[in-house]
């Protein structure tokens, strides 16, 4: 099977992480998530300060820092699903020089659903696995009890992140749309249904 290079675009809470994980299992790909990579290096000292200060405020981490994180992650991946990058037009240019993409998906989800998904998201600190208070709680009581909320999933930061998305990342979506590369997928409904829409687009093309 070809090593796909898949990009998942969409607002915070659209389900990129959830779908990336499923796609990686289905097609044996690596998950490249700048959000996960930054969370694992939150207190890394850079000339701009630590990633934490930007992330907790819901702002973008400076390009110089994120680009390096991305480059390292891509070096170690053959086939991949990329999620969380690019978030502005300069990052689009950087990505364009770094790799070729086979599929650029946009997960389309309405604002109310986004807020509900983000504020209800919970993380297992032991595994990094994402859950949701309403849509996806773990069966294991021990896991249920240790779930935490990401600092940036609290409602005021969520609103800031959605604004940062509109200002910086919507132009990215437009860029791929104008280039004719964007595959728009309805991101509402059950995770399995969204996944089927994605794999249909991939399989139709193989």
In angstroms, give the least distance from the CB of 130 to ligand ADP: 5
Q: For residues 34 and 84, give the distance between their C-alpha atoms in angstroms, rounded to a whole number.
A: 6
Binding site for ligand ADP (CB under 6 A): 10, 12-18, 34-35, 38, 54-55, 58-61, 66, 84-85, 87, 91, 117, 121, 130-132, 135-136, 152, 161, 190-191, 194
Nearer to ligand ADP by Cβ, of 58 and 105: the residue is 58
In angstroms, give the least distance from the CB of 32 to ligand ADP: 11
Nearer to ligand ADP by Cβ, of 137 and 202: the residue is 137
Q: Are 104 and 5 in contact (CB under 8 A)?
A: no
CA distances from 30 to 37, 38, 119, 127, 179 (A): 13, 17, 27, 17, 26
Q: Computed from CA positions of residues 116, 18, 89, 6, in that sequence, does the dihedral angle turn out positive or negative?
A: negative
Nearer to ligand ADP by Cβ, of 1 and 171: the residue is 171
In angstroms, give the least distance from the CB of 66 to ligand ADP: 4
Catalytic residues: 16, 87, 121, 150, 161
169 closest CA partner among 48, 21, 13: 13
């Amino acid at each position: 099977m070809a090593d796909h290079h898949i990009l998942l675009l969409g607002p915070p809470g659209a389900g990129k992480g959830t779908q990336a994980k499923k796609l990686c299992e289905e097609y044996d790909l690596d998950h490249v998530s700048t959000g996960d990579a930054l969370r694992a290096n939150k207190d890394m000292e850079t000339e701009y300060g630590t990633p934490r200060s930007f992330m907790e405020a819901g702002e973008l981490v400076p390009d110089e820092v994120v680009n390096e994180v991305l480059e390292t992650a891509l070096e170690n991946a053959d086939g991949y699903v990329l999620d969380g990058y690019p978030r502005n037009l300069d990052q689009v240019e950087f990505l364009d020089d770094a790799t070729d993409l086979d599929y650029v998906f946009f997960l389309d989800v309405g604002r109310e659903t986004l807020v509900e998904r983000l504020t209800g998201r919970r993380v297992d600190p032991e595994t990094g696995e994402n859950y949701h208070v309403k849509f996806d709680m773990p069966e294991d009581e021990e896991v249920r009890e240790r779930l935490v909320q990401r600092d940036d999933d609290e409602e005021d930061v969520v609103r800031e992140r959605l604004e940062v998305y509109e200002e910086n990342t919507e132009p990215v979506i437009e860029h791929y749309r104008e280039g004719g590369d964007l595959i728009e997928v309805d991101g509402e409904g059950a995770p399995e249904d969204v996944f089927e829409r994605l794999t249909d687009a991939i399989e139709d093309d193989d």
